[in-house]
A and B are shown apart, each in its own frame.
Chain A
Amino acid sequence: EPEVTQTPSHQVTQMGQEVILRCVPISNHLYFYWYRQILGQKVEFLVSFYNNEISEKSEIFDDQFSVERPDGSNFTLKIRSTKLEDSAMYFCASRSRDRNNEQFFGPGTRLTVL
């Protein structure tokens, strides 16, 4: 069964460093999302992406964050200058055009900022 994949599974970085989290959505999906989950807290929406542009973003998704679909398969989240509070699980999700709101999640990348 097709699934969303994410790399790396765990990323450790120093505060102030840039990180890029990578996702490969399900191949026929057109809508892409990033969510994050701080330990012990709710899964929170960051950004949605369709047709090579951002559809919607939350207030969490400030100028330090950016997303890109550099090729036909990858979808990336970049954090330019990481802060301690960026430590969280980051989940990528995707959905197809005809399955409204049925978002399928990847296994997540655990980001630890030291």
Chain B
Amino acid sequence: QKEVEQDPGPLSVPEGAIVSLNCTYSNSAFQYFMWYRQYSRKGPELLMYTYSSGNKEDGRFTAQVDKSSKYISLFIRDSQPSDSATYLCAMTLNSGNTPLVFGKGTRLSVIA
């Protein structure tokens, strides 16, 4: 398995703030990138899935991939207390049946 680095936080922001979560990776062979949200003692919930470099937007969430820098980001606009969770980045090598490699997760708290 190839390494994925993610700052574990915790990150605490006021309600309404823009949140930026990031991961770096070392293996340029990673092709597919995901963000999962995990509430305490629950399973990871798929939030965003991207393939190409650039931005992908879904509501208040924007996923950004920069393959040249081996850097991915998740932005959350107008953050809400319900966004408080651990955010996991994950990536995989190709479109086949290959396993996900996860970052350690960043714990986010949005304070009302």
Interface size class of B (residues with CB under 8 A): 20 to 34
Contacts of B43 in A (CB 8 A): 4, 6, 91, 105-108
CB of B41 closer than 8 Å to a CB of A? yes
Say if the beta carbon of B1 comes within 8 Å of chain A: yes
Contact of A58 among B32, B42, B97, B99 (CB under 8 A): B99
Nearest chain A CB to B39 CB, angstrom units:
10
Give the docked Cα–Cα distance between A102 and B100 (Å): 10
Number of A residues, CB within 8 Å of B = 27
Query: Could you list which residues of chain A lie within 8 angstroms of chain B, going by C-beta atoms?
Result: 4, 6, 31, 33, 35, 41-45, 48, 50, 55-56, 58, 89, 91, 100-108, 110
B residues in contact (CB < 8 Å) with A: 1, 32, 34, 36, 41-46, 49, 88, 90, 92, 95-105
